[in-house]
Amino acid sequence: MSTLGAYFRLWRVGWILVREGVISALPSDDLPPSVGAAKSFAGLFARNRAKSQKRSDRLAKAVERLGPSYVKIGQFLATRPDVVGVEFADDLSQLQDSMAFFPQAAAKASIEGSLGRSIDELYASFGDPIAAASIAQVHPAEVDTPTGRKKVAVKVVRPGVRQRFTHDIEAMYLVAHMQERFMPSSRRLRPIEVTKTLEQTTKVEMDLRLEAAALSEIAENTEKDPGFRVPTVDWERTGRDVITMEWIDGVKMSDVDGLRAAGHDLNALADTLIQSFLRHTLRDGFFHADMHPGNLFVDATGMIVAVDMGIVGRLGKKERRFLAEILYGFITRDYIRVAEVHFEAGYVPSHHNIESFAQAIRAIGEPIHGQPAETISMGKLLTLLFEVTELFDMATRPELVMLQKTMVVVEGVSRILNPRFNMWKASEPVVGDWIRNNLGPKRIVTDIKDGLKAAVKLAEAAPEIAAKTEKFHQQLLHMSENGLRFDAETAEAIGRSEARHNRSGRVALWIIALTLLYIAWVVT
């Protein structure tokens, strides 16, 4: 898409945000006078009805007008309070990913095109859609199995959504480039990298084979976990544009009265939910990153069933250790250790003072120790921590911000189920076990094993490395004895390159060539 097209789309987005009163409703704190004046001027063009609405309602209306891809963009930015601010992230988190249904005929055509078989061959029955979101909609269906007919859920990608998102992301990139150019202070937040993450995340979400793979992976990880599971995938009826999975009969976690009426223990469900999330995060390094109550069901046996695995997060060993040591350091009031972990992981630049950073960490930790355990929020703790790290030039870590946002959501669901939910008591069995296994003597054994594996791999690759080194050495000797020679194709390419480039470009090209000759001469 052309840059001109991106500017046009950006202009359209800005105009809709102005008309729906979103711009005039933005916080005015710390804005330069010129920006504040522009915001006030924009308020003159807002619709009359918008002026009486809450900011979140104005935003919802604007996103609805902008289209489905902007719902997804808004939901993604809701997970990045470090980028858009805490208040705006809260507004974005209230966006309802609920769109109008698209025709059943289009859904059937998409399924048949993706799987190469007719609907009648694939399903014994195929019903009207029951839910529609920005990326896809869901249909109830039935399939014949050796044990009888079974009900399934069929998720189908919305027609044209990929092309629409490809165009809309161009405007996002334009904003990111402008932000980095004209707002140097925002470079720490890496807006271009954030946009790349959004693009990659959404592309993954629009390939339903990858969602199926995520469901399969987390099913294997949680096979023996108490009280938690995900739907099974019907791989025979799954492709890029469609995923068929087990139909879940249960009560949504957002329906507290329904859960209570069904006889479920709400306090036990709250504990199981947070413990499951921490197992996935610390033990597996792979977690469901969209665990709002609408994506969580409780079946008749009391098992929590998580659906919609389009957005997932991953943490490496270093990030998991980072998270556990932070939590453990706050619990034990070892603020120096919490600070050291940040420096060891490279999250805070080394030119800062560890003791000063530990002092800032203490400012977060000490107030927490004076509160009742049931009022302490782990999500709030991490939010405060990320705010402090801004003072010490800590670059944005997308995987940690996604973890923090998901933890806030999961913790919030647990407190809905149990208003006196004790986060630390519920977390201790999982966090404590992980710390004992990974931060104590067992950690040394694990590190030794990892080191031995790396050494074995290096030893296996040694002959190939030696052969390549010898070949490179022979090439350098040949160059030193016979001069640097190019084959006909290379010489022709250099000629074309010289014709294209200006004088400075030609100088740079020959500097590279002379440098190679010099290296060859030095080696010999």
**Catalytic residue list:** 290
Residues 34 and 157: their CA atoms lie apart, in Å, by 44
**403-405-406-407 Cα dihedral, nearest 10 degrees:** 80
User: Which ranges of 67-135 does DSSP label H, i.e. alpha helix?
Assistant: 68-78, 81-84, 86-93, 104-115, 119-122
CA distances from 48 to 52, 53, 56, 317, 470 (A): 7, 10, 16, 53, 77
Q: Cα separation of 254 and 413, whole Å?
A: 8
Q: Helix (H, G, I), strand (E, B), or coil: what is residue 229?
A: strand
Contacts of 190 (CB under 8 A, 6+ apart): 395, 396
Residue 473 burial by CB count (10 A; 0-12/13-18/19+): exposed, middle or buried?
exposed
Residue 44's SS3 state is coil
Instruction: Judge whether 256 and 379 are in contact, CB under 8 Å.
Output: no
Instruction: Round to whole Å and give the CA distance between 79 and 97.
Output: 15
Whose CA is closest to 28, among 93, 88, 83? 88
Q: How many residues are present in the chain?
A: 524
With 0-12 CB in 10 A as exposed, 13-18 as middle and 19+ as buried, what is 365? buried
At position 365, the amino acid (one-letter code) is G
Q: From CA 232, how far away is CA 219, in angstroms rounded?
A: 8
Could you tell me if 70 and 59 are in contact, meaning their C-beta atoms sit under 8 angstroms apart?
Answer: no
Sequence-ordered alpha helix ranges (H) in 418-440: 423-438
C-alpha dihedral (182, 185, 187, 188), degrees to nearest 10: -170
**What DSSP letter does each residue of 115-128 carry, written as one string?**
HSS-HHHH-SEE--
User: CA–CA separation, 143 vs 146, rounded Å?
Assistant: 10
**CA triple 85-90-94, angle to 5 deg:** 145
Cβ count near 335 (within 10 Å): 21
Structure-block tokens of residue 273 = 């939910």
